[in-house]
């Protein structure tokens, strides 16, 4: 019998299915056996073996080609509906059994994914620590004496222990990121409205996001591609907007970090050192660190629990809370009870103040492409959290509470370990609709600085980003290789920069091209052609730029004969669009291939 658990990347399991090494029925049987004992308090409801096998048999009756998540097991936070299974939001007295699954859950099942069960959470998704549940404090995957992070605690630990390949959480204040950091996994908090929240018990409905936990950023992008869709029946659903330039692909990018005096680690010197190491790692990937004023972000963060947005948590469960407040766990009860101090006028004042703070915070995007912070400054023991639940929970939200209020997307990424073996993580953030740029940068970080997957001890067996993932990241932009007057600082480069183009990398083509100086061209231009099978070819210097697809048409119409746009092979085997020349035009042109590129040829002439 092949080894079935712990599970790893989605891609790896799909490959094993494709090679007929495993079947979904074998996987669900193994998982069911593994989760029978739940000493870590991961699960609130586990599906029966008969139900799991029913899902698996249904998947096996279909072709893999028709199901992008064929037989992939996943967990669902128990404030998200699964048809026929109770939704408790970690309050058994609140429990109801939905007839229909949440929109995101149904999309996943339709894509071939298999739900394993409903996971534990901080009650009513109120908390960042994972201890606020009558079903028990969910234990950290690395050390049970420490908190697992919340509110999506069970979903994070289920991934970290390799019981599933991905899981769903929710994120209002950081619930999709803090547990990711504390359990050494990816926590993807999408742009608000990208993933439908229909069928989700609200915390703050105007801010809530369905979040995704995975082992890798590539897996998170895979899930996002399946479930991201406009939902006309969700009043907060948003259509995906054409994003800005994908800084995740760029050779040089600028990332903001809080100024040194505004960083908070609550006495945890090791986490401070790990954050500094991560800054160096990003610089090693071509990033430029820029210190920013973190004050408006911090003030916005305080509005979530110290301002009128607490009233929205009350509104979410008002009917239940009025009749059953004594059945709500402490300190969740006290937090929601505090909503009564805020008036409607207070709510409007809060909205006005938030708009002011967002205007101030958004200034940072003129200087940096993304923001990088610790996900949490430190981690606490369960005992310490229970003794001081409000203050310590607030500390956990220092770097997270502002995100949805300011309408940013974010990805939590593993970033190393303390000397005691507990993980540390960072969060990458950017304006709304920059999700794929963040995921692409997160994937580069994981590729360059690989860590074990969760708490499984398994290392990624396929760290290179797949072409499918690369293509997904560029869905609104096109990469374009230029080899002549469009190069940086040359006469026609403005045709790219004026169309919001950005330089990704300087590289070379594969070694089967020739470069010619074309006669009677102003400004002087080269023509690159691909050689025939028996000809000597060369690697030619090119720059790869990223150009919005919406700008591509006007760019192409300005290209004169004999040049055109075709597919070029780069030295690393990638294929990108780029300038090619018709063969007839080089008959009497000067072969300058030996110079290796147009810039070198111009230097030779000078």
Residue pLDDT, tens place only, 82-113:
999 999 999 999 999 999 999 999 999 999 99
Instruction: Give residue 465's pLDDT.
Output: 56
CA–CA dist 431, 58 (Å, integer): 40
Nearest of 428, 451, 376 to residue 146 by alpha carbon: 376
Q: What percent of the chain has pLDDT over 70?
A: 96
Angle between helices 295-306 and 344-362 (to 10 degrees): 160
Instruction: Give residue 20's pLDDT.
Output: 95
The average confidence (pLDDT) of the chain is 93
Tell whether the model's pLDDT for residue 209 goes beyond 60: yes
Instruction: Give residue 421's pLDDT.
Output: 97
Catalytic residue among 101, 133, 151, 152: 151
Say which residue, 300 or 571, is predicted with more confidence: 300
The most distant pair of C-alpha atoms in the chain lies apart, rounded to whole Å, by: 89
Tokens 């997270």 -> residue: 400
Catalytic residue among 46, 77, 161, 189: 77
Lowest mean pLDDT, pick from 122-126, 349-353, 508-512:
508-512
Cα dihedral: 34, 38, 40, 45 (round 10): 110
CB 177 within 8 A of CB 427: yes
Nearest of 218, 209, 204 to residue 191 by alpha carbon: 209
CA–CA dist 131, 389 (Å, integer): 9
CA–CA dist 147, 40 (Å, integer): 11
Per-residue pLDDT, averaged over 544-569, amounts to 87
C-alpha distances in Å from residue 570, one per residue of 211, 441, 507, 550, 575: 36, 21, 8, 24, 6
Tell whether the model's pLDDT for residue 462 goes beyond 80: no
The count of other CB atoms within 10 Å of the CB of residue 352 is: 10
* b/e map 424-461, b = 16+ CB within 10 Å: bbbbbbbbbbbbbbbbbbbbbbbbebebebbbbebebe
Is the sign of the CA dihedral 396, 398, 401, 403 positive or negative? negative
Residues in the chain: 606
CA–CA dist 289, 449 (Å, integer): 18
Nearest of 424, 382, 365 to residue 148 by alpha carbon: 382
Cα 555–chain centre separation:
32
Q: In what order do the strands lie in the sheet with 513-517?
A: 526-530, 513-517, 590-591
Coil/strand/helix, residue 198? coil
CA–CA dist 589, 593 (Å, integer): 12
Instruction: Give residue 383's pLDDT.
Output: 98
CA–CA dist 202, 125 (Å, integer): 8
Say which residue, 246 or 394, is predicted with more confidence: 394
Say which residue, 54 or 479, is predicted with more confidence: 54
Nearest of 474, 369, 472, 370 to residue 427 by alpha carbon: 370
DSSP state for residue 326 in the 8-state scheme: G
Tell whether the model's pLDDT for residue 475 goes beyond 60: no
Q: What is the 3-class SS of 551-604, one letter each residue?
A: HHHHHHHCCCCCEEEEEEEECCCCEEEEEEECHHHHCCCEECHHHCCHHHHHHH
CA–CA dist 4, 29 (Å, integer): 10
Tell whether the model's pLDDT for residue 231 goes beyond 70: yes
Segment 34-83, tens digit of pLDDT = 999 999 999 999 999 999 999 999 999 999 999 999 999 999 999 999 99
The count of other CB atoms within 10 Å of the CB of residue 592 is: 22
Segment 247-292, tens digit of pLDDT = 998 889 999 999 999 999 999 999 999 999 999 999 999 999 999 9
63 CB-side CA count, 13 A: 2
Catalytic residue among 175, 196, 211, 224: 175
Tell whether the model's pLDDT for residue 464 goes beyond 80: no
The H-assigned helical ranges of 203-325 are: 217-227, 269-284, 295-306, 310-316, 318-324
CB 213 within 8 A of CB 440: no
CB 310 within 8 A of CB 339: yes
Is the sign of the CA dihedral 426, 378, 168, 6 positive or negative? positive
CA–CA dist 444, 463 (Å, integer): 9
Instruction: Give residue 474's pLDDT.
Output: 46
β-strands 253-258, 513-517: how paired?
Answer: unpaired
Per-residue pLDDT, averaged over 160-178, amounts to 98
Instruction: Give residue 243's pLDDT.
Output: 57
- Going by pLDDT thresholds of 50, 70 and 90, the confidence category of residue 570 is confident
Both tokens of residue 301?
Answer: 């963060």
Q: Which residues fall within 8 angstroms of residue 498, CB to CB, at 6 or more apart?
A: none
Per-residue pLDDT, averaged over 405-415, amounts to 98
Catalytic, 77? Answer: yes
- Going by pLDDT thresholds of 50, 70 and 90, the confidence category of residue 374 is very high
Both tokens of residue 47?
Answer: 């599906």
Tell whether the model's pLDDT for residue 576 goes beyond 90: no
- Going by pLDDT thresholds of 50, 70 and 90, the confidence category of residue 473 is very low
Tokens 């547990």 -> residue: 179
Per-residue pLDDT, averaged over 214-224, amounts to 97
Nearest of 533, 520, 518, 535 to residue 587 by alpha carbon: 518
Nearest of 271, 283, 256 to residue 449 by alpha carbon: 283
Lowest mean pLDDT, pick from 95-104, 334-343, 352-361, 512-521:
512-521
For 360, counting Cβ atoms within 10 Å of its Cβ (0-12 exposed, 13-18 middle, 19+ buried), the class is middle
Tell whether the model's pLDDT for residue 461 goes beyond 80: no
Both tokens of residue 159?
Answer: 């991934």
Kindly report the backbone phi and psi dihedral angles of residue 438, in degrees, each rounded to the nearest multiple of 5, phi listed first.
-65, -45
β-strands 209-214, 166-171: how paired?
Answer: antiparallel
CA–CA dist 485, 487 (Å, integer): 5
CB 379 within 8 A of CB 182: yes
Q: What percent of the chain has pLDDT over 90?
A: 82
CB 431 within 8 A of CB 408: yes
Tokens 């730029």 -> residue: 545
The number of helix segments (H) and strand segments (E) in the chain equals 20, 19
Per-residue pLDDT, averaged over 299-303, amounts to 97
Lowest mean pLDDT, pick from 163-177, 283-297, 584-598:
584-598
CA–CA dist 181, 258 (Å, integer): 18
Per-residue pLDDT, averaged over 217-246, amounts to 91
């Amino acid at each position: 019998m092949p080894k079935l658990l712990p599970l790893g990347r989605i891609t790896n399991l799909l490959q094993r299915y494709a090679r007929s090494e495993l079947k979904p029925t074998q996987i669900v049987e193994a998982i069911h056996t593994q989760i029978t004992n739940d000493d870590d308090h991961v699960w609130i409801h586990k599906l029966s073996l008969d139900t799991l096998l029913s899902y698996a048999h249904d998947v096996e009756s279909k072709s893999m080609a028709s199901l992008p998540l064929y037989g992939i097991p996943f967990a669902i936070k128990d404030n998200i509906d699964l048809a026929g299974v109770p939704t408790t939001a970690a309050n058994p007295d609140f429990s109801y059994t939905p007839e229909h699954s949440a929109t995101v859950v149904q999309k996943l099942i339709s894509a071939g994914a298999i739900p394993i069960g409903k996971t534990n959470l901080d009650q009513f998704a109120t908390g960042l620590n994972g201890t606020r549940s009558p079903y028990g404090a969910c234990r950290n995957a690395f050390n049970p004496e420490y908190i697992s992070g919340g509110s999506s605690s069970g979903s994070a630990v289920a991934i970290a222990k390799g019981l599933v390949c991905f899981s769903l959480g929710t994120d209002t204040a950081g619930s999709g990121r803090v547990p990711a950091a504390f359990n050494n996994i990816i926590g993807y908090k999408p742009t608000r409205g990208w993933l439908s929240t229909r069928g989700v018990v609200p915390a703050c409905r105007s801010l809530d996001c369905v979040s995704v936990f995975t082992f890798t950023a590539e897996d998170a992008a895979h899930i996002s591609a399946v479930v991201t869709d406009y939902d006309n029946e969700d009043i907060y659903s948003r259509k995906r907007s054409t994003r800005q330039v994908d800084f995740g692909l760029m050779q040089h990018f600028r990332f903001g970090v809080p100024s040194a005096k505004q960083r908070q680690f609550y006495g945890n010197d090791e986490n401070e050192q790990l954050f500094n190491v991560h800054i160096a790692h990003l610089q090693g990937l071509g990033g430029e660190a820029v210190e920013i004023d973190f004050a408006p972000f911090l003030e916005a963060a305080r509005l979530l629990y110290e301002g009128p947005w607490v009233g929205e948590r009350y509104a979410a469960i008002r009917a239940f809370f009025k009749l059953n407040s004594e059945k709500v766990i402490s300190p969740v009860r006290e937090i929601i009870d505090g909503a009564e101090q805020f008036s409607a006028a207070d709510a409007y004042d809060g909205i006005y103040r938030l708009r002011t703070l967002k205007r101030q915070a958004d200034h940072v995007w003129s200087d940096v492409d993304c923001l990088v912070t610790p996900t949490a400054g430190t981690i606490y023991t369960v005992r310490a959290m229970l003794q001081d639940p409000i203050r310590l929970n607030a500390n956990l939200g220092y770097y997270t509470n502002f995100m949805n209020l300011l309408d940013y997307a974010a990805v939590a990424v593993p970033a190393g370990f303390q000397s005691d073996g507990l993980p540390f993580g960072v969060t990458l953030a950017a304006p709304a609709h920059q999700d794929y740029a963040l995921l692409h940068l997160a994937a580069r970080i994981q590729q360059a600085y690989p860590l074990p997957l969760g708490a499984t001890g398994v290392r990624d067996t396929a760290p290179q980003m797949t072409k499918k993932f690369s293509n997904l990241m560029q869905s609104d932009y096109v990469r374009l290789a230029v080899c002549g007057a469009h190069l940086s600082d040359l006469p026609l480069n403005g045709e790219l920069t004026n169309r919001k183009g950005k330089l990704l990398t300087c590289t070379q083509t594969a070694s089967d091209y020739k470069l010619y100086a074309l006669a009677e061209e102003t400004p002087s231009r080269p023509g690159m052609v691909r050689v025939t099978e028996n000809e000597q070819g060369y690697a030619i210097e090119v720059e790869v730029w990223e150009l919005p697809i919406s700008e591509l048409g006007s760019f192409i119409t300005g290209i004169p004969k004999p040049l055109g746009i075709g597919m070029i092979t780069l030295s690393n085997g990638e294929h990108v669009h780029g300038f090619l020349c018709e063969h007839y035009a080089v008959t009497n042109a000067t072969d300058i291939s030996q110079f290796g590129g147009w810039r070198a040829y111009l230097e030779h002439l000078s």
